[in-house]
């Protein structure tokens, strides 16, 4: 089957079997390997991508279900000039990663978290990241990164909002 998507801002048309999971369409057909395959059961969150502006686990949904959808992977977060997304920069600054396996899904989930639950407390962040597993860091630096990234996202969004309201 042919599926038309918009991935990281670019049109993409892929030929997939009807049972191809979105994660495999992204990795194998589009060669965007930043989206990781961890558990194949939607438990670990390593496969998290943005689908039409919301974080989803791409290992438990079929590619053909998302005809015309807009998908953002970790490769699509940085600006064209290579400037990291504020959440990526915060993960780097706060050492919110070690092996890096969970990081792409964790960053995507953190962006979703801070977009839809801005100003969350440490305990709220921990609860909202419950669907993403990290086996290295013990989460303390991840929580710090989410807090810092959320503040940076809010700061960069504020001028645009203020301008729009003027």
pLDDT tens across 34-50, in order?
999 998 888 899 999 99
Mean pLDDT of 72-86: 96
If pLDDT is split at 50, 70 and 90, which confidence band does 159 have?
A: low
Choosing from 75, 105, 132, the residue where a domain stops is: 75
Domain total in the chain: 2
Q: What is the pLDDT, as a whole number, of residue 114?
A: 97
Q: Does residue 165 fall inside a structural domain?
A: no
Q: What is the pLDDT, as a whole number, of residue 42?
A: 87
Q: Does residue 163 fall inside a structural domain?
A: no
- Are residues 15 and 62 part of one domain? yes
Contact 56, 111 (CB under 8 A): no
If pLDDT is split at 50, 70 and 90, which confidence band does 161 have?
A: very low
Mean pLDDT of 84-105: 95
Choosing from 75, 99, 120, the residue where a domain stops is: 75
If pLDDT is split at 50, 70 and 90, which confidence band does 16 have?
A: very high
- Are residues 67 and 118 part of one domain? no
Q: What is the pLDDT, as a whole number, of residue 116?
A: 97
Contact 60, 66 (CB under 8 A): no
Q: What is the CATH number of the domain that holds 132?
A: 1.10.150.120
Per residue in 111-137, pLDDT (tens digit) is 999 999 999 999 999 999 999 999 887
Is pLDDT at 96 greater than 50 in this prediction?
Answer: yes
* CA dist., res. 42 & res. 22, Å (int): 12
The pLDDT mean for the chain works out to: 93
What is the pTM for the complete model shown?
0.91
Q: What is the CATH number of the domain that holds 58?
A: 3.10.20.30
- Are residues 101 and 131 part of one domain? yes
DSSP state letters, the chain: -EEEEEETTEEEEEE--TT-BHHHIIIIIS--TTSPPS-SSSSS-TTEEEETTEEEEGGGSBGGGGTT-EEE-GGGSS-TTSPPPHHHHHHHHTT--SS-SSHHHHHHHHHHHHHHSTT--HHHHHHHTTT---SSS-SHHHHHHHHHHHHHHHHHHHHHHHHHH-
Radius of gyration of the chain (CA): 16
- Are residues 107 and 61 part of one domain? no
- Residue 97 sits in which domain range? 86-158
């Amino acid at each position: 089957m042919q599926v038309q998507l918009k991935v990281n801002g670019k049109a993409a048309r892929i030929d997939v079997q009807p049972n191809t999971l979105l994660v495999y369409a992204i990795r194998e057909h589009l060669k965007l390997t930043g989206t990781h395959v961890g558990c194949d059961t939607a438990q670990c969150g390593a496969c998290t991508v943005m689908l039409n502006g919301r974080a989803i686990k791409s290992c438990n949904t079929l590619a053909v279900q998302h005809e015309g959808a807009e998908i953002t992977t970790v490769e699509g977060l940085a600006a064209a000039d290579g400037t990291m997304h504020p959440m990526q920069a915060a993960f780097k600054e706060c050492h919110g990663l070690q092996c890096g396996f969970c990081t792409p899904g964790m960053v995507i989930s953190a962006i979703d978290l801070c977009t839809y639950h801005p100003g969350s407390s440490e305990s709220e962040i921990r609860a909202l990241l419950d669907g993403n597993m990290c086996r290295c860091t013990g989460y303390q630096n991840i929580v710090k990164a989410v807090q810092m990234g959320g503040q940076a996202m809010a700061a960069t969004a504020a001028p645009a909002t203020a301008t729009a309201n003027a």
